[in-house]
Amino acid sequence: MSAIPESPPRSWAEVDLSGIRHNLATARKLSGQGIMAVVKASAYGHGLEAVASALEQEEIAFFGVANVGEARRLSKAGVRAPIYLLGGTFPSEREEVIAHHWLPCLNTMEEARHFDQLARHGGTVVEAHLTVDTGMGRGGFLPADAPAALEAIRALPGIRISGLGSHLPSADEDPVFTRTQFDQFDNLVESLPHRRELKHIHLANSAGLLGYQSRTTTLARPGLLLYGVSPLKGHGADLRNVMSLKSRIALIRDLPSGHGISYGRTFVTTRPTKVGTIGIGYGDGYPRALADHTPEVFVRGQRVPLLGRVTMDQVMADLSSCPDCRPGDEVELFGPNIPVQEVAQKAGTIPWELFTGITPRVKRIYSG
């Protein structure tokens, strides 16, 4: 109705859902196993509900979330695939877990006894997986204790253990340790007397799926690779880019030689410079730490360097090589032309943190 057009977003993230489906198919083909799609932390910043509904038609064995808050969002969104809680639960959350048929992982006997008590009280049985700590140090039973714990929990009438999982701390960094870990995990599973009752056996994250083989697992739990990024060098050629972080040139100005740019004046022009001001900053999750490592952005078919520090809402780029650049032009911060790994590395971080750090101010725009 209004005659005044709504302004376009300053910064946005284009999310190609068909790319996620492609990467899921790749994960399935490479692993030859069922898939627990890891969608914690709002699907690594891509948007929990949108990603889950895009994957729902794809026969996902489980959606893996970090906590009850995320499980609640998936249930509200009407997701039908089983929802698995990757982390431990607080005592006050467990009634809700049981009521919604979310699958908890059991890390301690205390947790198990409490779930058993609550389930029996409610006249039901809670299905759960056992977590074994084969090296992550974050949760689960130690391998030496796992067989006895499994037997003890089998005796609890309120719990049905249908799976067993463990996690890899170093699959993208330490192949020797990881190979040993796979072997120990497989040996443990093969030694369990009631192994056949465990329908779901899982160990591999993205790096584990790409680089290693197990004799016993039935499921892989990829996160990062669904979002188009391989944590292992030399893999990932068959993955598709999913998120492109974008903004626009707001201003273009000609500055003389000797003019400082941005806070701290860490950059001073050494020649007349055409400077573009772009509407994105660390308030959007574009890391301030980048500035010391000559980040580049992509505009009108070319890479151009940023100048000076990243500010909260804006960054400056050297557009001297781009006579055709105009205010309003789209700028890619990462995506098909600027790999997210490159940006993460220059910022001294990892793609997982970069994705999950993109703030709510950045509008997610879906296609595919």
Ligand X SMILES: *Cc1c(COP(=O)(O)O)cnc(C)c1O
CA distances to 13, 171, 211, 228, 368 from 236, rounded to whole Å, are: 21, 15, 11, 8, 21
> Is the separation of the CB atoms in 46 and 358 below 8 Å?
no
DSSP 137-179: -SSSB-TTTHHHHHHHHHT-TTEEEEEEE---SSTTT-HHHHH
CA distances to 220, 282, 286, 340 from 289, rounded to whole Å, are: 34, 9, 9, 15
Read off the tokens for 39: 């969608």
- What sign for the dihedral angle of Cα 209, 130, 350, 279? positive
Nearer to ligand X, 23 or 205 (CB): 205
Catalytic residue status for 263? yes
In the three-class reduction of DSSP (H, G, I as helix; E, B as strand; rest coil), residue 326 is classed as coil
Among 84, 263, 274, 286, the one annotated catalytic: 263
Contacts of residue 122, defined as CB under 8 A and 6 or more positions apart, other chains included, come to: 95, 98, 99
Report in angstroms how near the CB of residue 26 gets to ligand X at its nearest.
13
CA terminus-to-terminus distance, the chain: 29
Contacts of residue 115, defined as CB under 8 A and 6 or more positions apart, other chains included, come to: 94, 97, 98, 104, 106, 126, 128, 158, 159
| Residue that has been written with the tokens 């105009």 in this structure | 326
Report in angstroms how near the CB of residue 222 gets to ligand X at its nearest.
5
Nearer to ligand X, 140 or 287 (CB): 140
Report in angstroms how near the CB of residue 86 gets to ligand X at its nearest.
4
Report in angstroms how near the CB of residue 289 gets to ligand X at its nearest.
21
User: Which residues are near ligand X by CB under 6 A?
Assistant: 38, 40, 86, 167, 205-206, 221-224, 231
Report in angstroms how near the CB of residue 49 gets to ligand X at its nearest.
19
Nearer to ligand X, 128 or 306 (CB): 128
Find the residue with minimal CB distance to ligand X.
223
Nearer to ligand X, 86 or 153 (CB): 86
Q: Which residues are catalytic?
A: 40, 263
